[in-house]
Structure 1
């Protein structure tokens, strides 16, 4: 009743209070008003939480983009490595003029060299093979 009597005496009282961000309530409107305020606070908190979730999602997206870029770089390097391995394979044993064929040709060409009892005969010339005491390698001593 007091609010009703005050508004009856001064009808501008409610508008002046609202301009000062004061809202007048009666005992019967107090609980609904408090529920509205509580709901507004929950909405405000949810909005803050949504903002935080958006920030986290943006951080995750940035991290994913970085990972995607690194993956592309790794795949590019893998392609380069694969190409280098194929080139090496060609040089060693599959390509034209490869090292394996050159060694096989050298091995075949060396069949006219004969070694018997530390004496190497090359096209009829004898070369004695003497062990090197320091390195255990064979040293060649030409008898001619």
Structure 2
């Protein structure tokens, strides 16, 4: 009872199980004591005391070792779960950002293609009109990129004549 009242498991800064091992080094004495008073083991357990003898000490110590190992594994599992949750949230946010980036790149690509079409496609494109000035005798310091200029001035075989009034006014010979 005196050993049970010491409450070793409640000492500040000490991590221990809530029971204490009471080692009885003389096995025959332990057996005689238990035979004389069968309630001895129950009373020890009620006071958080585990009676151990030379034959049960190693089993008890291994059991305690396994309990501590499981305790550490449980703590690690909790930390892993917390970190996994945080990582999942970061991955979710990253995927969301990547989708937004993909949409923005798609819009930028569409805008680029629209601008390039106005620059070099269709009957009233900007390059064709600029090259028209050159054909009228306007002096230029440097020619427009030949690859763009040739695409812009080549007549498209099935190009529809859907010019706006502004395009017809800007380039009357193509109307």
Identify whether the pair has TM-score above 0.5, normalized to the shorter chain.
yes
8 Å CA contact 1:89, 1:95 repeated in 2: no
Shift of 1:46: 1.9
CA distance in structure 2 between the partners assigned to 1:57 and 1:97 by the alignment: 58
1:60 aligns with 2:73: no
Q: What is the RMSD computed on CA atoms of the aligned residues?
A: 2.1
CA distance in structure 1 between the partners assigned to 2:29 and 2:67 by the alignment: 28
Shift of 1:96: 4.6
Q: TM-score, normalised by structure 2?
A: 0.55
Structure 1, unpaired ranges of 5+: 114-144
- Cα shift readout 1:86-112 (whole Å, capped 9, x = no counterpart): 11011111135221233334444x45x
Determine the structure 2 residue equivalent to 1:139. Answer: none
Q: Greater strand share, 1 or 2?
A: 1
| Residues paired across the two proteins, number | 111
SS of the residue 1:47 aligns to: helix
Instruction: Give the structure with higher Rg (CA).
Output: 1
Q: What pairs up with 1:30-69 in 2 under 5 angstroms?
A: 30-69=57-96
Shift of 1:14: 1.0
Give the 4+ runs in structure 1 shifted more than 4 A: none
